[in-house]
Amino acid sequence: MILTLKKRSVLPGFGLALGWTLLYLCLMVLIPLSTILIKSASLSWAQFWDAVSSPRALASYRLSFGASLVAALINAVFGLLVAWILVRYRFPFRRIVDGLVDLPFALPTAVAGIVLTTLYSPNGWVGSRLTKVGIKVAYTPLGVMVALTFIGLPFVVRTVQPVLQDLDVGIEEAAHSLGANLWQTFRRVLLPELLPAWITGSTLAFARALGEYGSVVFIAGNMPMRTEITPLLIMTKLDQFDYAGASAIALVFLVASFSLLLLVNVIQRRQSSLPVLG
């Protein structure tokens, strides 16, 4: 049966490899995910609506989506800049900086959480200076944004970097010698090439920020209605054994993040179908 599914190959092991992969995915991903649907289905439509549209839930969506969006935008701007200098310029410690960009992937989120809180709290290294100018970061929505910016930082850099590396610098030089200034070269020559990767990276940063829990709970202060993110609200409901309510909110959240993932796939498919320059 499987043989008709795949194209001919002399290599063995297809059945074993694919079978094991599917089994594991079912056990670890598909069956578990379906429990959310089943649990939510135990609610009536009105109960479901009440759970997902309570004022506290709505406030948490606003904060989660708003802060993630701002963090993704900050990362979009600075990620592009960092990718640019890493690829196009040579400066001391470039390799080390390049490696360091992945730190938010490797650093446990709880560690990131306590360290950012300590830095940005009113008596921390950064926080004490910001307090003097009247900016409060820790325990405000601004703090949530800082944490989300930290954890999303590598995404834009790592998606834009390879595309930028494959772009022929000759095209930019051609544009330059035809009289375009730096901004025009960037805007007319580079941006169209980088745009798909840039959007993909920013969307991934956004999606990652949406689900983030570990680093945010420390810095947010977790006041209901003000600095409570949606994953924390789910956690709170679980602690109160309100499993159905938690599932309902989780379902809304899952649909949102899958839509984002789908969007990324669509963008990437368009990207790969575009003719490649150079």
Partner 1 sequence: MATTASPRILTAPRTKPRVRTDPALVRWALIAIGGVFLGLFLLLPLAAVFANAFAKGATAYMAALREPEAASAIRLTLLASAIAVCLNVVFGVAAAWAIARFDFTGKNLLITLIDVPFSVSPVISGMIFVLLFGAQGWFGSWLAARDLKIIFAVPELIPVMQALGGEEEEAAVTLGASGWKTFFRITLPNIKWGLLYGIILCNARAMGEFGAVSVVSGHIRGLTNTMPLYIEILYNDYQFVPAFAIASLLTLLAVVTLVAKSLVEWKTERQAAEHDSVTEEGL
Using the rule CB under 8 A, is 186 a contact of partner 1? no
Using the rule CB under 8 A, is 21 a contact of partner 1? yes
Using the rule CB under 8 A, is 67 a contact of partner 1? no
Cα 152–chain centre separation: 5
Q: What is the DSSP string of 247-260?
A: HHHHHHHHHHHHHH
The 8 Å CB, 24+ separation contacts for 225-229 are: 225/55, 225/56, 225/59, 226/59, 226/63, 226/141, 227/63, 227/139, 227/140, 227/141, 227/143, 227/144, 228/56, 228/59, 228/60, 228/63, 229/60, 229/63, 229/64, 229/67, 229/144
Out of 49, 66, 129, 162, the residue judged to bind partner 1 by CB under 8 A: 162
Cβ proximity to partner 1, 58 vs 103, nearer residue: 103
Q: Considering Cα of 107, then 108, then 111, then 113, what sign does the dihedral take?
A: positive
Using the rule CB under 8 A, is 255 a contact of partner 1? no
Q: Between residue 35 and residue 54, which ones bind partner 1 under the rule CB under 8 A?
A: 35-36, 39
Out of 41, 110, 174, 225, the residue judged to bind partner 1 by CB under 8 A: 110
Using the rule CB under 8 A, is 128 a contact of partner 1? no
Using the rule CB under 8 A, is 169 a contact of partner 1? yes
Cβ proximity to partner 1, 57 vs 208, nearer residue: 208
Using the rule CB under 8 A, is 165 a contact of partner 1? yes
**Contact region for partner 1 (CB under 8 A) — 46-54, 82-90, 127-135, 187-195?**
82-90
Using the rule CB under 8 A, is 132 a contact of partner 1? no
Out of 52, 57, 144, 264, the residue judged to bind partner 1 by CB under 8 A: 264
The answer to whether 151 and 208 are in contact (CB under 8 A) is yes
Using the rule CB under 8 A, is 245 a contact of partner 1? no
Cβ proximity to partner 1, 180 vs 260, nearer residue: 260
Using the rule CB under 8 A, is 198 a contact of partner 1? no
**Contact region for partner 1 (CB under 8 A) — 49-57, 109-117, 131-139, 187-195?**
109-117
Q: What is the DSSP string of 58-82?
A: HHHHHHHHHHHHHHHHHHHHHHHHH
List alpha helices for 7-140, DSSP H. Answer: 14-25, 31-41, 45-52, 55-88, 94-100, 103-106, 109-120, 125-132
Out of 61, 70, 144, 154, the residue judged to bind partner 1 by CB under 8 A: 154
Using the rule CB under 8 A, is 238 a contact of partner 1? yes
Using the rule CB under 8 A, is 63 a contact of partner 1? no
Q: Is 256 exposed, middle or buried (0-12, 13-18, 19+ CB in 10 A)?
A: middle
- Residue 57 CB contacts under 8 Å (≥ 6 apart), including other chains: 51, 230, 233, 249
Using the rule CB under 8 A, is 14 a contact of partner 1? yes
Site size toward partner 1 (CB under 8 A) is: 107
Q: Between residue 204 and residue 233, which ones bind partner 1 under the rule CB under 8 A?
A: 204, 207-208, 210-214, 218, 231-232
